[in-house]
Every structure is written in structure tokens, then in C-alpha cells.
Amino acid sequence: MRSTPMAAAKTERLLNLVIALLSTRRALPRAAVRERVAAYREAPNDEAFERMFERDKDELRELGIPVITEDLDVYFSDEPAYRIDRVEYALPDLEVTPEQMSLLALAGRTWSEASLGAAASRALRKLEAVAPDDEAGAGVADGLDRIEAGVRTSEPAFEAVRAAVVTTRPVRFRYRSRRGDPTSRQVQPWGITAWHGHWYLTGFDLDREGPRVFRLDRVVGAVSFAGAPGSYTIPDDHDPRAVVASSLAGGEPITATLRIRPGRGHVLRRRARVIGTASGPDTASWDVVEVTGAGVSSLADEILGHGADVVVEAPPPLRDLVRERLSAVLAAHADGGAA
């Protein structure tokens, strides 16, 4: 989609403002900023310039650009001046290996058709500028052309809920459960996760005074903010995927301590917390991790899929169940061999 003339003009104005605030050693008063940015000089009056400049400053800050306000004179603080902090603005040197860049490129392609696609594309272009090429001289992301991973966020509620999670801001919406008409819910959003083709919100339901899970395509109408940003804290140990899986399975979440062979068990590692190392069955140093699953049976099934690369240390019910199922597999193979 091509940019509209208005969007292109805004982009040019923001870029010129960044250049003006970066190219000065001292903070610039408003009059100097207006003089250096063509779009501000063309403003019909002072009020139009003030509105435009205030919006632009806020937008740059939302983009992560550190626009600083300083007093122009230590003796007369009634006139503010502005600059961009060069230290905060400049990125440190990045060292991205070809393998890491390939994974980042795949992640960007995954979001290409979602509501975050534009942000993912911009981030990927910036990373490609500093990423090394492979030995043949090709870009490290070039080999991903045939991979068609994709994440869709077509639910109308997604963007508002995502913003609420990022800013820890309560929301209110109408929600249609599987057993009744839509009801009003007031929630402190904790996390968003995809599970089996659907997007889910996890959070604390203020009306029902407890954690709850909501499928986003069952949100009816618009999502509205119901409180100030930063008005609650997300639990440090909150794992949205484990909570959603447990809710759908009807079981209680379980936290297990596992030993994982180096370089293996990546599916478990993605949501695990490394707490140490220990000797594995092969006497090598294995990682000891804590991981949360959606109940004993569900986590046992997941661990069994990793074969001998994962060993359960605790809790005992999980360890016993994994041992029991492995023994059943061994017995079945023994019976088959005897036949």
C-alpha cells in the first residue's frame, strides 16, 4: 500500500525534527526548532505550530526517541528548550550471527500478515543492516523464501488488549461465554498467547475476583480502558501458555524441575527458567530448569516426546508417571519382540 501525501509529509516532518534536535550541541528553544523545520515554518500561525510540535514530540517519544526538555537559561526557566540525548538515542554495536538473523527473519515473516506486521518489518530491516552475510555473500534471510510461517491477528480486540498488557492498564469489554449471553467483564490483562489457532487473554477478573482466560474472538464490541496505566502488577511467575492450556484441559498447572541434555529440549527450554546444572545419565553437565505445564498428565506427555534428553527430578507424582509410561512402552516392545 502506498503512503498517502499526508502520511509522507508527516514522516518527512518527523525526520526533519529528529535531524534538527540531533545536529545541535545545545538544546533548541521553540523558535529555533520552528526555524529549522520547514513544515513548522509553513504553519499558518503560532497555535498551529504549537499543536503540531507537541504531537510530534509525543510521537517521537512513543517511538523510543529520547526527546529531552531543558531550561534554556539557568536563571530564567520560563522558556524550555529541546534536544535528543545522543547517548540514549544511539544503539550499541550489534553482533548478530547468521543463525540468529535467520531466526529473527523467520519471526518477522511470521508476523507479516498480522497487526504487528509493519513493526516487525521495520525491525527486520534495521537488523539486516548490521547482520553479516554468509560466505557466499548472500543475505542471511535469503534462504527463508520457501518458509510460509504466519500468525494472523484478525480479532478486533487484539490491538487494544495488547496495548493494555504492555501498559498494565485495566480494560472493560463484553464477553460471550459458551453457555450464555454476553456479559460485561472488567479485567487486569496479564498476557496474550496463541493456542491451537486462537488468541487468548489471561488476566485477573475484577468482578469475579480471580484469574480468568478469555478467547479474543468471543469479545463482543469494542474494548475500553478502565483505569490508569501502571495501576497493577503482573505476577512474575505468570506463564500465559501454561494457564491457557490448564484452563482448556481442566487441570491444575504444575511446576516441575527437569534435567535437559545440552542442545536438546528446545520446546521446553523456551518457557523454562534455568536454575543450575547437574550430571546427566551420560555424566555430561546438563541444565537444570523449572518449567510449568498444564497438569501432570499433559506435562508428562510433553516430556516423553523428548525421549532420553529430559529427566524429571521433581515433583514425585510427575516423575512416577513418566517412569510408568516409559515402562509400559518398554513392556509393549518386549511383548512385540517375543511374538
Q: Are the beta carbons of 34 and 41 closer than 8 angstroms?
A: yes
Under the banding of pLDDT at 50, 70 and 90, the label for residue 2 is: very low
Q: 168-224 pLDDT, tens per residue?
A: 889 999 988 766 678 899 999 998 887 766 788 889 998 888 888 888 888 888 899
Q: 101-145 pLDDT, tens per residue?
A: 656 665 555 555 445 555 555 555 555 555 545 444 444 444 444
Residue 257 has pLDDT above 90, yes or no: yes
CA distances from 163 to 72, 169, 229 (A): 35, 8, 10
Write the CB contacts of 158 (distance below 8 Å, at least 6 apart in sequence). Answer: 115, 192, 199, 216
123 vs 334 pLDDT, higher one: 334
CA–CA dist 268, 305 (Å, integer) = 11
Q: What is the mean pLDDT of residues 312-318?
A: 89
Three cell numbers written together for 65:
526517541
Residue 71 has pLDDT above 60, yes or no: yes
The answer to whether the bond into 315 is cis (omega within 30° of 0) is: yes
96 vs 276 pLDDT, higher one: 276
* Long-range CB pairs of 131-135, under 8 A, 24+ apart, other chains included: 131/96, 131/98, 131/101, 132/96, 132/97, 132/98, 132/101, 133/98, 134/98
Give all domains of the chain, ordered by start, each with its CATH number.
5-89 (1.10.10), 98-144 (no CATH), 158-237 (2.30.30), 254-338 (no CATH)
Three cell numbers written together for 224:
475500553
